[in-house]
A = this chain, B = another copy of it.
Amino acid sequence: MIDKRVASIDEALAGLGDGMTIMFGGFGGAGVPINLMRALPGTPANNLTIISNSVRFLEDYAHALFEEKRVRHAVASAARSRGAASGISEIQLADGTLTLDIAPQGSFAERIRAGGAGIPAFYTPTGVDTPVVEGKEHREFNGRMCVLETALTADFTLMRADKADRYGNLYFRGTQGNFGRDMAAAAKCTVVEVREIVDGLLPQPEIHVPGVFVKRIIQLPDARDA
């Protein structure tokens, strides 16, 4: 019997260890795995690479990871902390504690999709003539200059959805899906916190992510209510 339900956050994050790469779903507050992020500093995970559209989410919900210098590299389309003063990740970027692979958001999303889809690299016109693709291989297609972008994969993906079933099938409310839909396929171990694990199995029209991409699901209340 296929049963991807886990009962505790410890079980959900089991195996998360040194030197790993973790992807984080979520955008604009929707689909952000706040409960799992908050639990990260309590794991032995160190020397981490984080892949998150915005580094700020990690500052918001797993600040101790930065304080304890456990994040060494970030891949993101935004690495700006809240407010006018420097945030901890900005300070660490400046002093070299943290390194950054900054990408246009579309290239960021496509690199994740490629990672889950077995596509090691692709060309895109985005970023050409800007400093963010300096050093990347350039090549012209149909008269348009493009750059080579490589796939992103991870050891873990942490994300939030609205509903799941024991197969790991996921249903999103509203715009919860965003990056998580592709991140689910790009990691070896995808862990999803959900509002509700349904009895039985989700009906076909409600399945936004097939369970094959998901390893563990855990029912946890909306951390924004706390």
Q: Which residues of A contact B (CB under 8 A)?
A: 110, 114, 117-125, 141-142, 144, 146, 150, 205-206
Contacts and interface: CB of A to CB of B under 8 A. Distances in A.
Give the number of times this chain occurs in the complex, counting copies: 2
A122 B119 contact: yes
A121 B120 contact: no
11 contacts: A110-B117, A114-B122, A119-B124, A120-B123, A120-B141, A120-B142, A120-B146, A121-B146, A122-B123, A205-B205, A205-B206
A142 B118 CA distance: 12
Contact of A110 (B119, B124, B206): B119
Contacts of A122: 114, 119, 121-123
A120 B205 CA distance: 32
Nearest to A110: B119
A120 B123 CA distance: 6
Contacts of A118: 124-125
Given A120-B125, A141-B150, 6 more contacts: A114-B122, A118-B125, A119-B122, A120-B142, A121-B123, A122-B122
Nearest to A146: B120
Contacts of A110: 117, 119
Nearest to A205: B205
Contacts of A142: 120
A124 B122 CA distance: 9
A121 B141 contact: yes
Nearest to A120: B141
Contacts of A120: 123-125, 141-142, 144, 146
Nearest to A142: B120
Contacts of A144: 120
A79 to B, nearest CB: 25
A122 B111 CA distance: 11
A124 to B, nearest CB: 6
A187 B144 CA distance: 19
A119 B148 CA distance: 10
Contacts of A141: 120-121, 150
